[in-house]
Structures are given as structure tokens and as C-alpha cells.
Amino acid sequence: MHAAPAAPQAGSADLPLPPRPPWRLLPARVVAMCIVELQKMRHDRTELYTRAIQPALWLLIFGETFSRIRAIPTGRVPYLDYLAPGILAQSALFIAIFYGIQIIWERDAGVLAKLLVTPTPRAALITGKAFAAGVRALTQAVAIMVLSALLGVALTVNPLRWLGVVVIVMLGTAFFSCLSMTIAGLAISRDRLMGIGQAITMPLFFGSNALYPIAVMPGWLRVISHVNPLSYEVDALRALLIGTPGNLPLDVAVLVVAAAAGIAAASALLGRLVR
Amino acid sequence: MSTENETAEPASRPAVACRGLRHAFGGAVAVDGVDLAVAEGEIFGLLGPNGAGKTTAIRLITTLLPARPGMVEVFGLDVARQRMAVRRAIGYLPQQLSADSSLTGRENVELFARLFDVPRARRRERVHEVLSTVGLAGAAERRAQTYSGGMIRRLELAQALVSAPRLLILDEPTIGLDPVARDGVWDRIQEVRRATGMTVLVTTHYMDEADQHCDRIALMHRGRVQALGTPSELKSGLEPGATLEEVFRAYTGDQLDEPGDDFRDARRTRRTASRLG
Ligand SMILES: Nc1ncnc2c1ncn2[C@@H]1O[C@H](COP(=O)(O)OP(=O)(O)OP(=O)(O)O)[C@@H](O)[C@H]1O
Ligand SMILES: [Mg+2]
């Protein structure tokens, strides 16, 4: 009946398009999700400022006080220098661990259903979101690094090391945001996710080397610290930023494996959110 | 070029073909053996009372719910086996208002242009094109949270159209809209269809809309198709001079039997309503 044209095209001559090969598709999706994240941050800057308050207090009050009383043995490194990379990792952790709330909100608002009907494999969507969380954490990192420099922390000036910092923050945030999205897939509701998020952030933070060296911890806490990816993130950031001896290859390997596992787990559970 | 070859097959191949389409949530069967064929180029209406299974059927067709192989084909592609290819062919507007309110109209559409791989060189122009089509070019730089319900629905239409889909699936596109806004949405849909021959699968609770705009209608009730035909076939099949609303009542009149379901549906409707407000 209808003399439909061979490829109907809503007023456009070269659409729809042939599929992209997977190695082009994944980066394209990651870029798309990161751009949306940047656009959202540009529209709502208050969150950037309010989120900067807590790390600023840690550095200014906790950092300055503990520098003075010298309670934590950090060798020749001033305590504030020792603390700054830890607070950087902490702020990235806080952003990431509640990132799953966004995906639950998107589910409730019907946005997630629409994203899942685009030619985007679930793993690519999760990877995109994980990197988007990383982008958000990086904007926070800039604020913390500026403040640290103002407080006199001797940060590196080597651009390659700064590049390394970007990679480490991205990997760490990717892992913890995937952990959050995995919990979202299990908990399904926003309130439960909030509760679980709050319950695990402090143990992750205190059970790491962010505030004090692993050497001063009691034995049981050392064990926790060794299986806690946050410790590897802090170790790498410390090595890169203030030049303490660390095990960079091991840190990177742990973070890459953790991020990959997180992406796999969160993608596998994503379907539960739209059932 | 490659798309030309793919579509050079017989024009009689249906846009959507369901055979024994079925889905249960736990023990509750929502879609219970639906057989339908939506012809390429037509506007096909899926009608039925709350809880009839329309949204569930749509979610099976759009790959959101897992279908079994052989249950649904979209342009000859098996929905269970060729998800990515099926998704490339579909533009989808869910029942909920689902534009991202924290982004501008343009950013909302741009995201979907990226997710459907509209090349960078064409993207800006294409986004502007669809925003103009739905009459939002002037509001493109405003955030969607400042839009009215009708504008949001048209923005979502632009999101669904940006990839030039061959099949547009609309789940209650005019829900909660005033009569003028409803016409606004339908005029755009008709305009694009006339220009492109795109197929449209739509659900609605407005009988006047279905009567006016749909080429064919399937009446669903309790997960099954109870009646199928053109609006005039359905009406004259009941009795001379019948309205579509009377047809609807005749096939679905026993809907107050399950209070549990109705309670659930009322809650869902209210939730949707509060989102609109
Ligand atoms: N996620 C879900 N979990 C459990 N049951 C569900 C779910 N979604 C739908 N149902 C049930 O499946 C049945 C069909 O629902 P569906 O949403 O497909 O109806 P509908 O025809 O779209 O109704 P409406 O006109 O109200 O949108 C209903 O009984 C509903 O309660
Ligand atoms: Mg519905």
C-alpha cells in the first residue's frame, strides 16, 4: 500500500548508519557519557563547591593538627604531604560510592530504559558511566590539589607524574563507582543503596593507608588494608605526587583488575534494574 | 550503500512480527501469546485497559525484556539474537516522561545522536533539524526542567527521531497532555512519517486519537489481542454507527474482576501523574 522508500530517513540522506566495530563503539560511548557528565557539572556548579568543603576540612583541621602533634610516624615526609594524596583518594571514593544513586534515579525516570534501547552494549554503558564518575572526581581533584599546594605540600612538577595521577584517579573511581552500581543492581532501591553506601565508606576509608601507614595498624586491620583497593590507589598517588617509595606496577595492576571486575559485575546486574 | 542492499528485500516483510509473544513477571502472566504483524509504513495502534500488557509487549519488542528466539522479529531481525541491529532500527519513547531535566533540550538530543553514532560532521545539523521538526529550536538552549509537559514529550520525540529510525515505538506519547499539545505531538509524527515512510507502533488511551491517526488497531486485554483491524472495520464489526469507545468497552468490559491488579495499576498511574506535575 504505502510506497515506503527503501530506507526511510526522517529527512536525512545518510542515516541510519551502518554499525560500528566494537573497538570504535566502546570509546565512542565512553566519550558520550563523559560529555554528558561535564554538561551536568557545568549546569550545577553548587555541587562542586559543596563537595569541596569536606576534603578542605580534612586538610585544614585534621591535617594541620596532626602535623603539629606529630602523632603519626611518616618518616621524613611532613604529615600534611603524606595526607594530601589520601584525601584526594577519599574524595574520589565519596563521589564514586554514591554514583549508583544516579543509575537508580535514571531507572525511576525512564532514562535508563531509553539508554538501553540504543545500540550500546550493557558493558559499554557501565564503562561509560564509570569513566564519567572519574571525570567528576577529577574536577574535585583539581580543587584539592590547588588547596594542598597553597598549604605548602611539596607536589611534583613532572607532567608525566600528573598524567599518572589522572589515570590512577580514573581507575580508582571506575572501580568504586562500579561497586556502587553493582550494589544498585542488587539493592534496587535508592534508600537501601544510600544505607549500604554509608555503611561501607568509612570502613573502606579507615581500613586503608589514607590517614596512616599500614605499619602502625593492628594485624587484623592490615589484612583489610591489603585487600582494599583504596590502599593501592593511595599508595600510587603518594608515590606519584610526593615521591614516597611505592609499588606502582602492583598498584596499577590491582586497580585495573578491580575496575574490570567491577565493570563486569555491574553490567551483569544492570538488567535487573529494568525488569 | 550497505543499508540500501539490506532493504532491497521484498517490501511485504513486516516491520514487526510477533509469534506467540509471552512474558510473565514471576507467576503473573502479563503478555499471553500475542500474534501480530505490523506492516512497513503503517501507524499501528495498540489499545487496551490499564494492565492489558501493552507496555510489556513493547518492552519485549525493544529488547528491554528478554524475548525467546522466534518470538519477535523487527524488519526480519530476531530480537533475541540481533539486539544491536534491532536497536539501531528503533526509536523509542517510553510511557514515562524521561528527558534528563538537568540538561538542555539540545544536550538531551545530542546524547542520543552520539549513542546512535551520527557522525560528528553531521551531528550539530541533525540535532538542529529534529529540534526544528518538533518545534523546539527556540527552546533548545533551555534546560528541560523549564519545559512544559507538551514540550518534554516533543523533546523526547526529537530524541527518538534523531537516528532516523525505520520503526518509531511510542508508549502513550500524549499521556497527560492538553488537547492542543496532543495535536502538536501527532502533527509532528504524521509529518515525519509522510516525509520518510517510517513505521509507527503506538499505544494510547485516547480513542479519538486512535480513530483519527491509526491505520490499524489491535485491542489487547489480559495479555491477549481480542480484536484487530482498521478503525472502521472494528466499528462496523460491532454494529453500524458504533464508536471506537464502544468497541473498546465491548471487548474489555469485564475489567473490574481483579481488584489486586487495579490497585497496582492505579498506583502506577498516580505515580506517572505525579511525575507529570
Ligand atoms: N515490573 C513489573 N513487575 C511485576 N509486574 C509487572 C511489572 N510491569 C508490569 N507488570 C504487570 O503486568 C501487567 C501488564 O502491565 P503493562 O504495564 O504491560 O500494562 P499496560 O497495558 O501498559 O497498562 P497501562 O495502560 O496502565 O500502561 C499488569 O498486571 C502489571 O501489573
Ligand atoms: Mg503501559
Which residues make beta-bridge pairs with B21? B34
In a domain? residue A101? yes
Buried-state track A78-103, b at ≥16 Cβ within 10 A, e below 16: bbbbbbbbbbbbbbbbbbbbbbbbbb
Q: What percent of chain B has pLDDT over 90?
A: 74
- Give the pLDDT confidence score for residue A16 in this predicted structure: 55
Measure B56 CA to ligand 1 centroid, in angstroms: 6
- Give the pLDDT confidence score for residue A66 in this predicted structure: 86
Q: What does the DSSP assignment read for B102-151?
A: TSBHHHHHHHHHHHTT--HHHHHHHHHHHHHHTT-GGGTTSBGGGS-HHH
- Give the pLDDT confidence score for residue A15 in this predicted structure: 58
Do residues A154 and A241 make contact, with C-beta atoms less than 8 angstroms apart? no
Backbone angles phi, psi at B70, to 5 degrees: 90, -15
If we measure between CA atoms, which residue out of A147, A148, A160, A152 comes closest to residue A248? A160
Backbone angles phi, psi at A136, to 5 degrees: -65, -45
In a domain? residue A22? no
Instruction: Please indicate if any CB of chain A lies within 8 Å of the CB of B2.
Output: yes
In a domain? residue A75? yes
Q: What is the C-alpha separation between B246 and B255, in angstroms, rounded?
A: 14
State the smallest CA–CA distance between residue B250 and chain A in angstroms.
30
Measured between alpha carbons, how far is residue B227 from residues B38, B62, B224, B252 in Å? 14, 23, 9, 10
How is residue B116 written as a grid cell? 546512535
In a domain? residue A134? yes
How is residue B205 written as a grid cell? 488511551
In a domain? residue A251? yes
Q: How confident is the model at residue A5 (pLDDT cuts 50, 70, 90)?
A: very low
* Average pLDDT for A223-248: 94
Q: Is the pLDDT of residue A239 over 90?
A: yes
Q: What does the DSSP assignment read for A154-168?
A: -----HHHHHHHHHH
Instruction: Please indicate if any CB of chain A lies within 8 Å of the CB of B39.
Output: yes
Question: What ipTM does this complex have?
Answer: 0.87
State the smallest CA–CA distance between residue A129 and chain B in angstroms.
13
Chain B residues near residue A11 by CB distance under 8 angstroms: 129, 133, 164, 192, 195-196
In a 3-state reduction of DSSP, which class is residue A201?
Answer: helix
Question: In which domain, by residue range, is A72 found?
Answer: 45-274
In a domain? residue A25? no
Q: Is the pLDDT of residue A123 over 80?
A: yes
Q: Is the pLDDT of residue B264 over 70?
A: no
Do residues A269 and A180 make contact, with C-beta atoms less than 8 angstroms apart? no
Do residues A16 and A9 make contact, with C-beta atoms less than 8 angstroms apart? yes
In a domain? residue A177? yes
Q: Is the pLDDT of residue B254 over 70?
A: no
Angle at Cα B180 formed by Cα B43 and Cα B216, nearest 5°?
A: 15
pLDDT digits (tens, 9 = 90+) for A47-67: 888 888 999 999 999 888 888
If we measure between CA atoms, which residue out of B250, B211, B205, B252 comes closest to residue B233? B211
Q: Is the pLDDT of residue B6 over 90?
A: no
Question: What pTM was computed for the model?
Answer: 0.88
Pairing outcome for strands B72-74 and B16-25: antiparallel
* Average pLDDT for A79-87: 93
Backbone angles phi, psi at B19, to 5 degrees: -130, 110
Q: What does the DSSP assignment read for A227-268?
A: H-HHHHHHHHHHHHHH-----HHHHHHHHHHHHHHHHHHHHH
Q: What is the C-alpha separation between B193 and B190, in angstroms, rounded?
A: 5
Atom 28 of ligand 1, residue of closest alpha carbon: B51
Q: Is the pLDDT of residue A271 over 50?
A: yes
Q: Is the pLDDT of residue B266 over 70?
A: no
Ligand nearest, relative to CA of residue A272:
1
- Give the pLDDT confidence score for residue A207 in this predicted structure: 92
Q: How confident is the model at residue B267 (pLDDT cuts 50, 70, 90)?
A: very low
If we measure between CA atoms, which residue out of A246, A249, A268 comes closest to residue A257? A249
pLDDT digits (tens, 9 = 90+) for B90-145: 999 999 888 999 999 999 999 999 999 999 999 999 999 999 999 999 999 999 99
Placement of cell 519485549 in the chain:
B60
Instruction: Give the mean pLDDT of chain B.
Output: 87
Q: What is the C-alpha separation between B235 and A124, in angstroms, rounded?
A: 48
Number of Cβ within a 10 Å radius of residue B138: 10
In a domain? residue A14? no
Left, alpha or beta for B33 (phi > 0: left; psi -120 to 50: alpha)?
Answer: left
Which residues make beta-bridge pairs with A242? none
Pairing outcome for strands B72-74 and B43-47: unpaired
Do residues B200 and B43 make contact, with C-beta atoms less than 8 angstroms apart? yes
* Average pLDDT for B35-60: 96
Pairing outcome for strands B224-229 and B16-25: unpaired
pLDDT digits (tens, 9 = 90+) for A16-42: 566 777 788 999 999 999 999 999 999
Measured between alpha carbons, how far is residue B155 from residues A122, A145, B126 in Å? 25, 40, 14
Q: What is the C-alpha separation between B200 and B210, in angstroms, rounded?
A: 12
pLDDT digits (tens, 9 = 90+) for A189-229: 888 988 998 899 999 999 999 999 988 889 999 999 999 99
* Average pLDDT for A131-154: 93
* Tally of domains in chain A: 1
Q: What percent of chain B has pLDDT over 70?
A: 87
- Give the pLDDT confidence score for residue A45 in this predicted structure: 86
Q: What is the C-alpha separation between B218 and B235, in angstroms, rounded?
A: 13
CA Rg, chain A, in Å? 21
Residue of B42, B98, B164 lying closest to A10 (CB–CB): B164
- Give the pLDDT confidence score for residue A9 in this predicted structure: 41
Contact B103 A40 (CB under 8 A): yes
Q: State in Å, rounded, how far the first CA of chain A is from the last one.
A: 37
Instruction: Please indicate if any CB of chain A lies within 8 Å of the CB of B107.
Output: yes
In a 3-state reduction of DSSP, which class is residue B45?
Answer: strand
Instruction: Please indicate if any CB of chain B lies within 8 Å of the CB of A198.
Output: no
pLDDT digits (tens, 9 = 90+) for B220-241: 999 999 999 999 999 998 888 8
